[in-house]
Amino acid sequence: MQHVVIALLSLAAVAGAVAARRRFVVVRVAGTSMVPTYQPGDRVLIRRGGRAVPRRGQVVVFRRLQPGGAASSGRASGLRRTEWLIKRVAAMPGDRVPDQVAPGVHAAPGDVVPAGRLVVLGDGPTSRDSRHWGYLPVSEVLGVVVRRLS
């Protein structure tokens, strides 16, 4: 009987580890767009988003966009081969487009962020973000930063 309990506990531990790996991922920060919040080389824990839309103020990791907001190719090739970026959500669907972003998304004063899109900005002064390439499709978000690991 004791062997059965040990086997069940071992199986539960393995299942828990597999579930955690599907729900969380560690990403290393490259570049200075999020300085001073995150430094190049910092490792951050990401909670994969599922269908939830990130909230304003959260830091998200997403697939690199081409000019005009199109995603780079490579999602099918896996997490390690995709180029990921990290930025802070400045506006969500239905929010007014921030003034500094309006030219980059071709918005008139008072326009709102469309459904399925986010406005993201880097914390650093030299960040390339929604001001340069427009709205971020929510579907390109890998997840939300939970905490810095290093």
98: tokens are 């921030």
* pTM of the model as a whole: 0.78
What is the spatial order of strands in the sheet that 59-63 belongs to? 24-28, 43-48, 141-148, 59-63, 84-91, 117-121, 136-137
pLDDT confidence bin for 57, thresholds 50/70/90: very high
Q: Tens digits of per-residue pLDDT, 131-149? A: 999 999 999 999 999 999 9
Q: Tens digits of per-residue pLDDT, 73-84? A: 444 445 555 788
